[in-house]
């Protein structure tokens, strides 16, 4: 086994390829005969060499002639002409699409920022007085929850007890829903 490390891999490669000098060939054969492990390594190297050998049935290909033949076939085929793509048109459409996406994003962001958010109030043990966005005053009783959406219509969802002093606005009715009932103040 110590003999295995005394052979140069380049010598082995030259031996398997048939390019080793007579002295190198004798050294490799001596090395292979010194140990079954060395003999297996040499056999494996020969097998790999044989697998990597060029195919004797393969023929040389003239790449330039083959390419010329393909080009002549393309030219003879109807519709085989090469038509350049107008990249300018694609770029214009992609810019238009990008601008439309950006504008849509800005509009959605503005709407989200500007859209009125519902106001929510809750009391626990004692009541409190709150003012809504339309300046209406609400006196809430204990353990009351109120959600007010003030927009085109003033809509109030009430769970509990409350007293309302509604700011008059004929254009936007004041609607209170509580305990399954709906009361509208014009």
Confidence (pLDDT) at 81: 61
Confidence (pLDDT) at 103: 94
Closest alpha carbon to 184 in 149, 165, 156, 158:
156
Report d(CA 146, CA 128) in Å as an integer: 12
- Mean pLDDT estimate for the chain: 84
DSSP 8-state symbol, 59? -
* pTM more than 0.85: no
Confidence (pLDDT) at 3: 45
Residue percentage of the chain with pLDDT more than 90? 28
Tell me if residue 148 falls in helix, strand or coil.
strand
Report d(CA 148, CA 141) in Å as an integer: 16
Closest alpha carbon to 172 in 185, 162, 158, 156:
185
Q: Where in the chain is CATH 2.60.120.1440? A: 119-185
Q: Stretch 97-115: mean pLDDT, rounded?
A: 89
Q: Stretch 117-123: mean pLDDT, rounded?
A: 89
The CATH topology of domain 119-185 is: Jelly Rolls (2.60.120)
CB 158 within 8 A of CB 144: yes
pLDDT digit string, tens, across residues 86-97: 777 777 888 899
Q: Stretch 54-67: mean pLDDT, rounded?
A: 76
pLDDT digit string, tens, across residues 71-81: 777 766 566 56
């Amino acid at each position: 086994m110590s003999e295995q490390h005394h052979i140069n891999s380049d010598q082995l490669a030259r031996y398997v390829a048939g390019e080793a000098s007579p002295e190198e060939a004798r050294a490799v054969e001596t090395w292979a005969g010194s140990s079954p492990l060395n003999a297996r390594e040499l056999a494996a190297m020969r097998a790999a060499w044989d697998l990597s050998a060029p195919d004797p049935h393969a023929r040389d290909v003239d790449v330039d002639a083959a390419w010329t033949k393909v080009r002549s076939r393309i030219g003879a085929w109807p519709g085989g002409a090469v038509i350049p793509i107008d990249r300018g048109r694609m770029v214009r459409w992609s810019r238009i699409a990008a601008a439309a996406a950006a504008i849509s994003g800005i509009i959605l962001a503005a709407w989200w920022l500007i859209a009125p958010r519902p106001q929510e109030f809750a009391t626990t043990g004692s009541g409190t007085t709150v003012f809504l966005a339309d300046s209406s005053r609400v006196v809430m009783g204990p353990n009351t929850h109120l959600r007010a959406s003030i927009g085109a219509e003033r809509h109030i969802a009430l769970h509990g007890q409350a007293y309302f002093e509604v700011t008059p606005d004929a254009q936007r009715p004041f609607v209170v829903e509580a305990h399954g009932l709906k009361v509208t103040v014009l």
